């Protein structure tokens, strides 16, 4: 029987693929056979080495996703490099922390623009191609904050709640046309975005006490969910937000 998780011959765009969650997802997709177009602002050398080690093709695209300006070029460059586009992972994101009463418009706009606006318009650009070919997989990286309020991260919470909603909207529009749109909601993972939390003894202890698994996640532990949503194994999965959270939402 054919392996439903096999991504051989597929091409994936992964944003924010230079480090952390994006890098881990890019490597997992590569290990399943996909070629990787990695998008980010900084060096992709480490990601390229890991993808090449997995035996897959790699192409780096330097782009600043704080605006939608590079969106069309990202899709065009991917098609030029690999001749096809099958998977999009909207992972790039930023976070700004401050009490709600002190939060600035600048910090609000910066997070919403990167995490939500660009993710939507990149989905639109990729989606146009996928709809034309009659197939495609879009995976948005949401968050536990798609389900909960959190503290001191108002724009991040708004962006991730919005991303979950956009995931469902696009699924409603595109499911019948061969394109799957779903999301992964990571829990508390050891990444650059959580450095401040992990270095705060009180906050770190409170977080760990709430996680049934009793530890922070590692980015590689998101790879399985990403491969599932990118592959034929999820062909009848549309509009879902899958938590990968060590049991956080179960408690």
156 in active site: yes
Taking Cα atoms as reference points, which of 181, 163, 164, 183 lies closest to residue 172? 181
Classify residue 122 by burial, with Cβ atoms within 10 Å: 0-12, 13-18, 19+. Answer: buried
In contact, 108 and 98? CB cutoff 8 Å: no
At 193 the three-state DSSP class reads helix
β-bridge mates for residue 37, sequence order:
13, 59
Q: Which is the catalytic residue, given 58, 82, 120, 156? A: 156
Q: C-alpha dihedral over 229, 231, 237, 242, to 10 degrees?
A: -20
Please give the Cα distance from 14 to 145 (Å, whole number): 21
Give the strand pairing for 11-15 and 87-90. Answer: parallel
- The alpha carbon of 160 is separated from its chain's Cα centroid by a whole number of angstroms, namely 11
Active-site positions read 156
């Amino acid at each position: 029987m054919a392996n439903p998780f096999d991504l051989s011959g597929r091409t994936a765009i992964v944003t924010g693929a230079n480090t952390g969650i994006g890098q881990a997802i890019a490597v997992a997709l590569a290990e399943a056979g996909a070629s990787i177009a990695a998008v980010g602002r900084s060096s992709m050398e480490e990601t390229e080495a890991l993808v090449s080690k997995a035996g897959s093709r790699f192409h780096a695209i330097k782009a600043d996703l704080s605006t939608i300006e590079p969106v069309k070029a990202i899709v065009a460059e991917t098609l030029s490099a690999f001749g096809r586009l099958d998977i999009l992972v909207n992972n790039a994101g930023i976070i700004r922390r401050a009490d709600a009463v002190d939060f600035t418009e600048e910090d609000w706009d910066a997070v919403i623009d990167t995490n939500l606006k660009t993710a939507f318009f990149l989905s639109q650009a990729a989606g146009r191609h996928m709809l034309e070919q009659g197939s495609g997989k879009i995976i948005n990286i949401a968050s536990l904050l798609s389900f909960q309020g959190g503290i001191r991260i108002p724009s991040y919470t708004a962006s991730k709640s919005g991303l979950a909603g956009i995931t469902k909207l696009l699924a409603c529009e595109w499911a019948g046309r061969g394109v799957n749109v779903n999301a992964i909601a990571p829990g508390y993972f050891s990444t650059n975005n959580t450095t401040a939390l992990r270095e705060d003894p009180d906050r770190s202890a409170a977080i760990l006490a709430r996680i049934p698994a009793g530890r922070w996640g590692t980015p590689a532990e998101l790879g399985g969910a990403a491969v599932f949503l990118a592959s034929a194994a999820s062909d009848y999965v549309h509009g879902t937000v899958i938590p990968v959270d060590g049991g956080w939402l179960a408690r």
